Amino acid sequence: MLGRVTVVQDDKKAAFIQFTSPCKLRMGETVNVTKKRKARTLKQNALYWCFLSWCIHPFGGDLQSSGHFSIDALHEDIKAWFKATHRHDFNINGRFSTADLNKKKFKEFFDLVNLELMIDILGVDTSGFWKEYEKYGTWTNYNDEDFRTFMDEKQVIPF
């Protein structure tokens, strides 16, 4: 539920918040008020899920041979590992969701998943993913029209 602070008391112990839609709060109810932060970007989200898919695939990180067949299940395992090992670094209390991370924190999360979990703990060499990512990124940057035709399924990527 989003709202806008319209009045703050002089001692800063009380504020009036006008919500964008009707609220379901009751008198005396305790609420947690936080500032709205920028959430992770859609590109970060897409890259993360692509990374997990690559990690599972037999021609990628081959986590299938370790029993990971679902991207969603792998994500849940990653969240459990992350909560157990980095709870204090990210001030995680209770339920943990990557959707609650802002752009900076999501980058830190992704870096830890890649470097600490995948490479150091699970022994997955992720360099192949990052090489493909750079090659694909370079190709799309320099071939914008070709990329549009590829997305319209009229052309195959030439690599």
Taking only the tens place, the pLDDT of each residue in 42-94 is 788 888 999 999 999 999 999 999 999 999 999 999 999 999 999 988 888 88
Q: Report, as an integer, the average pLDDT of 23-37.
A: 79
As for how many domains the chain has, the answer is 1
Tokens of residue 99, six digits: 């959707």
User: Is 101 part of any domain?
Assistant: yes
- pTM for the model stands at 0.66
User: Is 92 part of any domain?
Assistant: yes
User: Is 91 part of any domain?
Assistant: yes
Nearest CA among 54, 116, 131, 53 for reference residue 86: 116
The model's confidence at residue 37, banded by pLDDT at 50, 70 and 90, is low
User: Is 32 part of any domain?
Assistant: no
Q: Does residue 120 register a pLDDT over 90?
A: yes
User: Is 17 part of any domain?
Assistant: no
Tokens of residue 52, six digits: 């997990």
CB 55 within 8 Å of CB 41:
no
The pLDDT > 90 percentage for the chain reads: 40
Domain span at 93 = 42-151
The model's confidence at residue 147, banded by pLDDT at 50, 70 and 90, is low
User: Is 129 part of any domain?
Assistant: yes
Average pLDDT, the chain: 83
**Residue carrying structure tokens 């699970």:** 122
User: Is 106 part of any domain?
Assistant: yes
Residue bearing the bigger pLDDT, 76 or 103: 76
Residue bearing the bigger pLDDT, 94 or 40: 94
CB 26 within 8 Å of CB 32:
no
User: Is 29 part of any domain?
Assistant: no
